[in-house]
């Protein structure tokens, strides 16, 4: 296989989904404010190694499809589905055969909570096998049911539930579908892996994800709505320290405080805002203050540290996060922080766009121990909480 294979996603969205209820096909129904298909496609748009995305749709659904697709250069024109799921997949594979494709990931549109980890595992398995299927072990007791009456136990040892995506090296799966179509056996297979295995492909399994379940019934939609209502909450912490130097004031949390010394630093050396900036960047997994504002860059000499904090807020806003609250602890023997803490809270809240009841600024000494105890400088510890609601 090529070192950098061309990976195509084939999303199967031609079904009617009648068991899910409602008049609209389930792949176009709203789920926590967005259509199911939109959510599914976004997972593939966001994955860095996927080059193209083709959706197989019902010929009557083109207006619904046009309204659901994300704006991405990865999106290719849709393909019309067939009389069955296997026929629809075959139509999509034949369309892909006209382009340079090394790997195809075939995925149900009705699995909108697939994540990058499942995609990564399926893709990685294709380094050694023709195909790979995301699967989960059966954990519940299994019983046969006859006319709504309980029947015999079914052993669950070795029984797994198949999910999608099912990934394949493209040339072998194209040949397998062509052979099944020629033999008129295409619709006799349960899934794409079965088509491949019936025609000699080696297919392995990789761990699936319990959240990657298929929306089939109204109860499935209700479960997905509950799961998507859980917010994404992230916490970060930051620490900073600056030594004293000759001067007549220190700047802490945006407030100038008279003192017989200053703090040494390339910017205004505001240890409180530096620690908080790092906490916010850390919660967003966006690096640290030095990465965004290198001390070696002369433009930041003497700069107001509010610039750094405002930049961190801009980053989290672009990621659709909301800063919920911040907490800063200043560690020093002098100057006394309490007389200035309210002004600090107001200034931090102003920069962050937070109400004052979401901003904490407090102080402690180190009982005359260590760097701070010897009055050689000031240290600060900060924490920040980010919240992002599902969209």
> pLDDT tens digit string along 176-211?
999 999 999 999 898 999 999 999 999 999 999 999
Q: How far apart are CA 243 and CA 347, in angstroms?
A: 23
The model's confidence at residue 159, banded by pLDDT at 50, 70 and 90, is: confident
Take residue 79 and report the two structure tokens written for it: 């393909």
Q: How many CA atoms lie within 13 A of 273 on its CB side?
A: 31
Q: What does residue 69 show for φ and ψ, rounded to 5 degrees?
A: -75, 140
pLDDT of residue 387: 95
Name which residue leads in pLDDT, 244 or 3.
Answer: 244
pLDDT at 116: 95
Least confident of 56-70, 130-144, 237-251: 130-144
Q: Would you say residue 294 has pLDDT above 80?
A: yes
- Ranges in the chain annotated CATH 3.30.1330.50: 232-388
Q: Comparing C-alpha atoms, which of 55, 74, 73 is closest to residue 65?
A: 55
Q: Above 90 in pLDDT, residue 36? A: yes
User: Can you tell me which residue has the tokens 């190694």?
Assistant: 49
Question: Which tokens in the block code for residue 380?
Answer: 């600060």
Q: How many Å apart are CA 132 and CA 180, to the nearest integer?
A: 19
Query: Distance between CA 292 and CA 309 in Å, rounded?
Result: 11
Q: What is the mean pLDDT of residues 143-150?
A: 86
Q: Name the DSSP letter for residue 176.
A: H
The predicted structure's pLDDT at residue 391: 59
pLDDT value of residue 20: 61
What is the share, in percent, of the chain residues with pLDDT greater than 90?
84
Does pTM surpass 0.85? Answer: no
How confident is the model at residue 22, as a pLDDT?
64
Say what the pLDDT of residue 1 is.
56
The model's pLDDT over 92-112, given as tens digits with 9 standing for 90+, comes to: 999 999 999 999 999 999 999
At residue 183, the pLDDT reads 94
Across the range 59-74, mean pLDDT stands at 96
pLDDT of residue 25: 93
Indicate where the chain has its CATH 3.90.550.10 domain(s): 7-228
Mean pLDDT of all residues in the chain?
A: 94
pLDDT confidence of 295, banded at 50, 70, 90?
confident
pLDDT tier at 140 (50, 70, 90 boundaries)? confident
pLDDT band of 142, cuts 50, 70, 90: confident
Count CB neighbours of 130 within 10 A: 22
CATH 3.90.550.10 for domain 7-228, yes or no, is: yes
Q: What average pLDDT score do residues 302-328 get?
A: 95
Written out in words, the top-level CATH class of the domain with range 232-388 is alpha beta
Q: Among residues 232, 226, 229, 228, which one has the least CA distance to residue 324?
A: 232
Which band of pLDDT confidence, cut at 50, 70 and 90, is reported for residue 155? confident
Q: How confident is the model at residue 19 (pLDDT cuts 50, 70, 90)?
A: low
Q: What is the pLDDT of residue 35?
A: 95
User: Between these two residues, 140 and 381, which has the higher pLDDT value?
Assistant: 381
Question: What gap in Å lies between CA 205 and CA 191, rounded to an integer?
Answer: 14
Confidence of residue 18 (pLDDT cuts 50, 70, 90): low
Residue 2 has pLDDT above 60, yes or no: no
Q: What percent of the chain has pLDDT over 70?
A: 97
Residue with the bigger pLDDT between 329 and 157: it is 329
The Cα 269–Cα 244 span in angstroms is: 10
């Amino acid at each position: 296989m090529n070192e950098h294979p061309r990976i195509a996603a084939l999303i199967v969205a031609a079904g009617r989904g009648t068991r899910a209820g409602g008049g609209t096909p389930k792949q176009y129904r709203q789920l926590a404010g967005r259509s199911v298909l939109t959510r599914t496609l976004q997972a593939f748009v966001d994955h860095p190694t996927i080059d193209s995305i083709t959706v197989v749709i019902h010929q009557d659904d083109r207006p619904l499809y046009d309204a659901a697709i994300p704006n991405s250069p990865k999106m290719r024109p849709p393909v019309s589905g067939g009389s069955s799921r296997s026929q629809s997949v075959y139509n999509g594979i034949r369309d892909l055969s006209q382009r340079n494709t090394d790997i195809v990931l075939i995925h149900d549109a009705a699995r909108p909570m697939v994540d990058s980890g499942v995609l990564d595992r399926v893709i990685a398995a294709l380094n050694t096998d023709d195909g790979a299927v995301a699967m989960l072990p059966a954990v519940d007791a299994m019983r046969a049911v006859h006319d709504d009456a309980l029947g015999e136990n079914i052993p669950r040892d070795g029984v797994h539930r198949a999910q999608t995506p099912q990934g394949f090296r493209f040339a072998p799966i194209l040949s397998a579908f062509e052979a099944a179509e020629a033999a008129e056996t295409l619709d006799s297979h349960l899934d794409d892996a079965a088509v491949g295995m019936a025609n000699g492909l080696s297919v392995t399994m990789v761990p699936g994800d319990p959240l990657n379940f298929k929306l089939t019934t109204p109860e499935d939609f209700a479960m997905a709505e509950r799961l998507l209502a859980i917010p994404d909450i992230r916490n970060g912490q930051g620490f900073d320290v600056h030594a004293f130097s000759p001067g007549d004031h220190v700047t802490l949390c945006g407030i100038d405080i008279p003192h017989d010394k200053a703090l040494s630093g390339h910017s205004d050396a505001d240890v409180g805002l530096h620690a908080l900036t790092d906490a916010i960047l850390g919660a967003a997994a966006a690096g640290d203050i030095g990465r965004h504002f290198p001390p070696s860059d002369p433009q930041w000499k003497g700069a107001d540290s509010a610039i750094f904090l405002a930049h961190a807020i801009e980053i989290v806003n672009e990621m659709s996060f909301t800063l919920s609250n911040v907490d800063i602890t200043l560690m020093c023997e002098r100057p006394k922080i309490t007389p200035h803490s309210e002004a600090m809270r107001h200034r931090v809240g102003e920069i962050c766009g937070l109400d004052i009841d979401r901003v904490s600024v407090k102080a402690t000494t180190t009982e005359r121990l260590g760097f701070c105890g010897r009055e050689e400088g000031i240290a600060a510890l900060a924490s920040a909480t980010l919240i992002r609601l599902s969209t």
